[in-house]
Structure 1
Amino acid sequence: MSITTPPEHQHSAAVEQAAHWLADLREPPHPIVPALKERFGLSAVEACEAIAWAERMRVYRKAHG
């Protein structure tokens, strides 16, 4: 029996890398989605996932130092 991760919880390495990059920026690029698509080769959906993930990282960092 194999356990698989549901698609909504799978992230590519590029999405993870983009999220970390974005979370570390003081001033994110505008518009963000095209910048992530160009820099990391993401689709629009993946760019949105990276943005949401980066925001969660920022909230976590703020809450936990």
Structure 2
Amino acid sequence: MTAEHDNPKVLDAAMWIAERHNNEGGRIVPAVRSRFSLTAVEACQACALADRFRQAGRTANA
């Protein structure tokens, strides 16, 4: 099994979440699944990775 940061779709989704996490009204997993064609597990991995990005102060622009 690959780490979530090894999957480019998960990484893209994580960056998107980290930058726009408040814009989905609490329905981020369905939004990410649809937008990035992810499985539920991958969407959750993206959410966890986005949280780590936010804690580190890292986004796509950083």
TM-score when normalising by structure 2: 0.78
What are the ranges of 5 or more consecutive residues in structure 1 without an aligned counterpart?
1-6
Aligned residue number for residue 15 of structure 1: 10
Distance apart, 1:9 and its partner CA: 2.0
1:52 aligned partner, one-letter code? A
Structure 2 residue 35 is the aligned partner of structure 1 residue 39: yes
Distance apart, 1:8 and its partner CA: 4.7
The Cα RMSD (Å) is 1.8
Distance (Å, rounded) in 2 between the aligned partners of 1:26 and 1:51: 9
What are the ranges of 5 or more consecutive residues in structure 2 without an aligned counterpart?
none
Structure with max Cα Rg: 1
Aligned residue number for residue 51 of structure 2: 55
The answer to which structure, 1 or 2, has the higher relative contact order (CA under 8 A, 6+ apart) is 2
Identity level (%) = 39
Is the CA contact 2:21–2:28 (under 8 Å) kept in the aligned structure 1? Answer: no
Q: 1:26 to 1:16 in 2, by over 3 A?
A: closer
Distance apart, 1:27 and its partner CA: 1.4
Secondary structure at the counterpart of residue 22 of structure 2:
coil
